[in-house]
Structure 1
Amino acid sequence: MGGVLRAEALWVETFTGLRMRQFERLLKVVRERGGDGPGRGRPWCLPLADRVLLVAVYYRTNLTMRQLAPLFGCSPATVCRVIQRLGPLLAIEPATRSADATDRLWIVDGTLIPVRDRNVGASSRNYRFSANVQVIIDADTKLVIATAPPVPGNTADAKAWRDSGLAGICQGVTVLGDGAYINTGLVVPHRKRPGRPLLPSEESDNTEHRRVRARVEHAFARMKHYKILRDCRQRGNGLHHAVQAVATLHNHALAT
């Protein structure tokens, strides 16, 4: 049975948000990470480009395996194996500190992602069973720098940040956070004290802080175009792999 979707410009741009040359760079990364497999055993029924597109379609639409199978002309079991194999290979590149790291400005925030896995999520303030995922972006480029493994959605952002291990890659970099990150070493807004209103200079600082920090919310909005981040059915490490892959697609889409 032949499939409908192929790694052609129309479908690539629709489901990945990437132009073909950006998609080809992504394919190169996946191939270098071993996406074509060890070269032993039964060959894949789909070429690598179609398999990467399949994973992107899954993350973009959140269709079930049975719904995706006829679109690519393969079985639901093959769809499942492709996602399990290539999902981790689409992970965002680990951040490295450059010589001008001290001149960079990063922003961190947590976002709640609804999940089905009771071992990953918890009843959260969005009135759904969700997981809290900490994300760092670059304030200038709006690229995602790193994401942390998910924690239950009722975890406070400050605790999720301390437990995430992301602080290690932020050494020497100025990182903004909202008021939930007080006493974490991040740059947070000035707080009002009882009987002590904010000074005009502090109000001005807070206004600028909000203006810059809004960029991380814009990044979340773009990432959540991928519906997997609106209702994740994956279990175990599936949500972490999905967030990392969506971050990679987001970064490639912003790259020239």
Structure 2
Amino acid sequence: MLFLLRRNPVQAAAAELFGVSQATVSRRWTALLPVVEKVLAEHVPDPAEASAGRIVLVDGTLVTTWDWASEGTSMFSGKHRDTGFNLLQVAATLDGDLLAVSDPVPGSRHDMRAWRESPFPDAFAEREGIGDLGYIGSGLITPRRKPPSQERSVGDKVANRSVNTLRAAVERAIAHLKDWKIFATRYRGPLTRFPLVTKTVTALAFYKKGW
């Protein structure tokens, strides 16, 4: 099961590697995924407690899937020009340490909607937060938009460089999360099972860091 999460091979490849049938791989995957998530759930910190006294960096990332719909909702992300979950609203510290991962939403929903549907607005209500242009109006500090038909002022350019320099830490956190290739390469399983995959990988990521 860990191999499937870490490398995201087809089950037939895992079966050949471990010397079992594809059906056995499928049964083990189905049986063990919820067990691992449940056992490691205590290692996942409460976002509000984990972020106490910290500046919170937030960003979203797409996990690609096959081109099918979820409960009638399009999985196609216009921003990324691909199908998938606009997963993960990911929160991290200025040091790039993971703070929280939200539940996935269909790729057709933009970052701002995913942010509003996540527990993050309440969890980080008393925190100073930083996001990209997709979070304008969220209360987070964001880069400044280019005025219509005008160039950005020198002050805006300096401010944007400062914000983007700080935001690099959450991009590192996302990159580490995508060491689990089931997030980095196309997810082939049932879409209804992906929220459990998300919770399990998140729990494993926190467990690895010793939470």
TM-score (norm 2): 0.79
Determine the structure 1 residue equivalent to 2:164.
Answer: 210
Is 1:76 equivalent to 2:26 in the alignment?
no
Could you tell which deviates more after superposition, 171-180 or 219-228?
A: 219-228
Q: Which residue of 1 aligns with 2:32?
A: 86
> How far is 1:117 from its partner?
6.4
How many equivalent pairs are there?
Answer: 200
1:98 corresponds to which residue?
49
Pairwise mapping of residues 36-185 of structure 1 onto structure 2 (< 5 A)? Answer: 55-88=1-34, 89-90=36-37, 93-98=44-49, 101=52, 103-116=53-66, 118-120=68-70, 122-124=75-77, 125-185=79-139
SS in 1 for 2:196: helix
CA distance in 1 between counterparts of 2:47 and 2:177 reads 22
Distance in 1, Cα, partners of 2:83 & 2:146: 32
Identity across aligned pairs (percent)? Answer: 29
Question: Does the Cα contact within 8 Å between 1:117 and 1:236 map onto a contact in 2?
Answer: no
Aligned residue number for residue 8 of structure 1: none
* Distance in 1 of aligned mates of 2:50 and 2:62: 33
Amino acid in the other structure paired with 2:31: R
In the TM superposition, residue 209 of structure 1 has moved relative to its aligned partner by: 1.0
Matched residue of 1:185: which SS?
Answer: coil
For structure 1, the 5+ residue unaligned runs are: 1-54
Provide the rounded CA distance (Å) in 2 between the counterparts of 1:111 and 1:222: 12
1:239-254 matched pairs, under 5 angstroms: 239-254=194-209
Amino acid corresponding to residue 60 of structure 1 in structure 2: R
The residue matched to 2:144 in structure 1 has which SS? coil
Q: Work out which structure has the larger RCO, using CA pairs closer than 8 Å and 6 or more positions apart in sequence.
A: 2
Any conservation in 1 of the 2:94–2:166 contact (CA below 8 Å)?
no
CA contact (8 A) 2:58 2:129 kept: yes
Larger Rg: 1
Counterpart amino acid of 1:81? R
Q: Secondary structure at the match of 2:84?
A: strand
- Residues 71 and 108 (structure 1 numbering): CA distance in 2 closer, same or farther, change over 3 Å? same
Cα distance 1:60–1:218, how it changes in 2: closer, same or farther (>3 A)?
same
Q: For the aligned residues, what is the CA RMSD?
A: 2.7
Q: Cα offset for 1:170?
A: 1.4
Do 1:108 and 1:137's aligned partners in 2 also have CA atoms closer than 8 Å?
Answer: yes
AA at the equivalent of 1:115: T
**Superposed CA offset, 1:220-239 (max 9, x none):** 22222322121001213322
Q: Does 1:220 align with 2:174?
A: yes
Q: Measure the CA separation in 1 of the matches of 2:46 and 2:190.
A: 26
* 1:128 CA displacement: 2.2
Is the contact between residue 134 and residue 147 of structure 1 (CA under 8 Å) also seen in structure 2? yes
Q: Indicate how the Cα distance of structure 1 residues 141 and 128 shifts in structure 2: closer, same or farther if over 3 A, else same.
A: same
Tell me, in whole angstroms, the C-alpha distance in 1 between the residues paired with 2:144 and 2:59. Answer: 17
Flag structure 2 segments of 5+ consecutive residues without an equivalent: none
Deviation, 1:140, is: 3.6
Distance change in 2, residues 1:97/1:165 (3 Å)? closer
Deviations 1:45-79 (A, max 9, x none): xxxxxxxxxx2210122122232224334443332
Distance in 1 between the 2:188 and 2:169 partners?
28
